[in-house]
Amino acid sequence: EKLLKNVLSNSGDYDVKGEASYKLGQLFVARDEYGNAIKYFDLTYKGYPKSGFADYAMYGTAWCYGKLSDFRKSRKIFGTLISDYSDTKLLPEAVEKAGECDFFLSNYDSAIVQFSRATALTSDGEIVEPCLYFEGRAYVSVGKPDSARAIFDEYLRKFPSADHAQEVRVLYSRLLI
């Protein structure tokens, strides 16, 4: 931490400062110190937007706000990331996280759109699994049982042993009644 803060304070190199502030954010995430992480991630994407770390830092800020259950701030930042960095490797995951924020804010229709978009962007199971889980739950919440069943059926075919599989089976069985 001291070394990175020293680099941030004393380096004259823009890219090095951007990297140091981003790595400080990561360090604080590893310590579950999300407020401190936000400070350095914000510094990275606002102070060094062309450093090569801005999209990752913006994602980090949004993710940290989510960990702090400030889903409004998290959603706003994920939205900015999605629109400003549409070519980032983080796009599918950012779209998925935006959908989670919408879900937790009870914006179910928007959540459904985001989850569907994220699954269209990637086949990565670590992103698709939560998308299908939350998308199915969102369909339940808006009173669309047929759509929920279709999503839960896909979830169970693709992720029969995932963490949420048992819960999905219960929800699915309730929709059959």
- Can you give the pLDDT at residue 12? 83
Taking a C-beta distance cutoff of 8 angstroms, is the pair 148, 140 a contact? yes
Write down the pTM of the prediction.
0.92
d(CA 54, CA 130): 25
Dump pLDDT digits (tens) for 52-64: 999 999 999 999 9
Tokens of 45: 């994407």
d(CA 102, CA 75): 7
- Can you give the pLDDT at residue 13? 84
- Indicate the range of 4-8, 31-35, 165-169 predicted with least confidence: 4-8
Q: Tell me how far the alpha carbon of residue 14 is from its chain's centroid.
A: 27
Mean of pLDDT values over 107-132: 97
Dump pLDDT digits (tens) for 144-176: 999 999 999 999 999 999 999 999 999 999 998
The runs of H, that is alpha helices, within the chain are 2-10, 14-30, 34-42, 54-67, 71-84, 91-104, 108-121, 125-141, 145-158, 165-175
- Can you give the pLDDT at residue 73? 98
- Can you give the pLDDT at residue 36? 97
- Can you give the pLDDT at residue 150? 97
Helix axes 125-141, 145-158, angle to 10 degrees: 160
